[in-house]
């Protein structure tokens, strides 16, 4: 999950695995795989960085679990 901000400054979490596409129209619009759209205040570049960090952490946890299992 990544934390994003609405224009009214409220924050919420989005499942990064559900993100299909990010547009800049000029507002940043997150398009989800279920066809819903979310307008957020973060830039597309900021979102990409958050998604990469989310994926990095997820892969790190998977690697640790695999090592524990043997």
Residue 50 has φ and ψ, to the nearest 5°, of -65, -40
Per-residue pLDDT band for 43 (boundaries 50, 70, 90) equals very high
Measured between alpha carbons, how far is 2 from 54 in angstroms, rounded to an integer? 7
pLDDT digits (tens, 9 = 90+) for 19-30: 999 999 999 999
If you average pLDDT over residues 35-62, what whole number do you get? 96
Q: How far is CA 17 from its chain centroid?
A: 7
Give residues with Cβ within 8 angstroms of 5, minimum separation 6.
11, 40, 41, 42
Report whether 10 contacts 46 (CB < 8 A): no
pTM of the model: 0.87
């Amino acid at each position: 999950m990544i934390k994003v901000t609405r224009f009214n400054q409220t924050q919420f979490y989005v499942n990064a695995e559900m993100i299909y596409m990010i547009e800049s129209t000029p507002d940043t619009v997150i398009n989800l795989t279920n066809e819903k759209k979310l307008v957020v205040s973060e830039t597309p570049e900021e979102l990409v960085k958050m998604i990469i960090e989310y994926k990095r952490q997820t892969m790190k946890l998977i690697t640790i679990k695999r090592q524990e299992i043997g």
